[in-house]
Amino acid sequence: MTDSTALAEDLPDLWTHEPHVHLAFKPGDSVAAIDTRATPGFRGSKSDAPALQAERNERFAVLQEKLYAASRAGDNRKVLVVLQGMDTAGKGGIVKHVVGAANPQGIRYASFGKPTEEELSHDFLWRIERQLPTPGHIGVFDRSHYEDVLIVRVHDLVAPEVWSTRYDIINDFERRLVLDGTTIVKVAMFVSLDEQRDRLAKRLDRPDKYWKYNPADIDERLLWPKYQEAYQAMLERTSTDWAPWHVIPCDRKWYSRLAITELLIEALDGLDLSWPPADFDVEAEKKRLAEA
Ligand code: AMP
Ligand code: MG
């Protein structure tokens, strides 16, 4: 196959399409219509997931190491993964089970909660800029600058005249990052209201999960339609050629993890990384070592 739907050479055949084909947000797509239980592009089942996840985690880890190695040889490139989703969507699981497969040395993780006084005294991108990945690193944003057009919009934490200008500001900001060698992978994770109830209930049932429970999550849950509106606007206004959004159905954790892993592998594969050649004489060094 040579057309644009050709599968990446190493894509496991449990996928019928490269994940981004089904998952890329397209104009006209509706957040309210997302089937959060669906497994687009995947023909396998849950029982295939553990082995495949393990195999693809390894592939991801090798690519991440190549990115890191390339930076040691002067390559300026980096990757920024943006995870957005309502509580319980599974952002933490992606960090642990997907990103966690890589060497932490090359990962720059940042989570963004309610801004501090100091953060509020600056422009909304101030705290974001401080956490951007440096060359060779994969930055992972667990929530992000998009909170400033999501929770901030839903709760009118700033005036509409202010948040409404942020979509364009974000697009310009991301454009600048891309021009500076960043590949941006934006992932919007969606669970259904029912699935969220089950996941919150689990947190209340298990003492080892209480720490994840926040009574305020219920308040946000009650605002679901307003959040859907805000997510819709976010996808429509900030899915750009240089930083497109991917919409991930997340009611089945095994699927969302596999899908996001493939998106990361695709992004890294697209960088065409290779191991930096030795900048010393390998044979001479072997000889020196043997004699040392
Ligand atoms: P968690 O990710 O569960 O630790 O929750 C963090 C909370 O901080 C979420 O309710 C976010 O919506 C909220 N948050 C993140 N960024 C902002 C922001 N810029 N303004 C207000 N709240 C925010
Ligand atoms: Mg939470």
Residue-wise pLDDT tens digits, 98-119:
999 999 999 999 999 999 999 9
For residue 87, the CA-to-ligand 1 centroid distance in Å is 10
The pair of three-digit structure tokens given for residue 104, joined into one six-digit string: 């932490």
User: CA distances (Å), 205 to each of 199, 217, 222, 255, in order?
Assistant: 10, 16, 21, 25
Report the pLDDT averaged over residues 126-140: 98
pLDDT higher than threshold 70 for residue 264: yes
pLDDT of residue 1: 37
Q: Is the CB of 143 under 6 A from ligand 1?
A: yes
Residue-wise pLDDT tens digits, 192-227:
999 999 999 999 999 999 999 999 999 999 999 999
- The number of the ligand 1 atom at minimal distance from the alpha carbon of 111 is 2
Report the pLDDT averaged over residues 276-290: 97
Closest CA to 39 of 249, 292, 265: 249
> Looking at this protein, which amino acid is placed at residue 260?
I
- What's the chain's average pLDDT? 95
Residue nearest to atom 9 of ligand 1 (CA): 113
Which mutation among 83, 95, 114 tests ligand 1's pocket best, with the greatest number of atoms within 8 A of CB?
114
Confidence of residue 6 (pLDDT cuts 50, 70, 90): low
Q: Is the CB of 95 under 6 A from ligand 1?
A: no
Calpha distance 129→19 (Å, rounded): 29
Kindly give the pairing relationship between strand 182-190 and strand 78-85.
parallel
Write the CATH number of the domain with boundaries 4-291.
Answer: 3.40.50.300
Total-model pTM: 0.95
Residue 267: CB atoms within 10 A of its CB come to: 19
pLDDT of residue 252: 98
So where are the chain's domains?
4-291
For residue 182, the CA-to-ligand 2 centroid distance in Å is 28
Calpha distance 175→168 (Å, rounded): 10
Spell out the SS3 assignment of the chain. CCCCCCCCCCCCCCECCCHHHHHECCCCCCHHHCCCCCCCCECCCHHHHHHHHHHHHHHHHHHHHHHHHHHHCCCCCEEEEEEEECCCCCHHHHHHHCHHHCCHHHEEEEECCCCCHHHHCCCCCHHHHCCCCCCCCEEEEECCHHHHHCHHHHCCCCCHHHHCCHHHHHHHHHHHHHHCCEEEEEEEEECCHHHHHHHHHHHHHCHHHHHHCCCHHHHHHCCHHHHHHHHHHHHHHHCCCCCCEEEEECCCHHHHHHHHHHHHHHHHHCCCCCCCCCCCCHHHHHHHHHHC
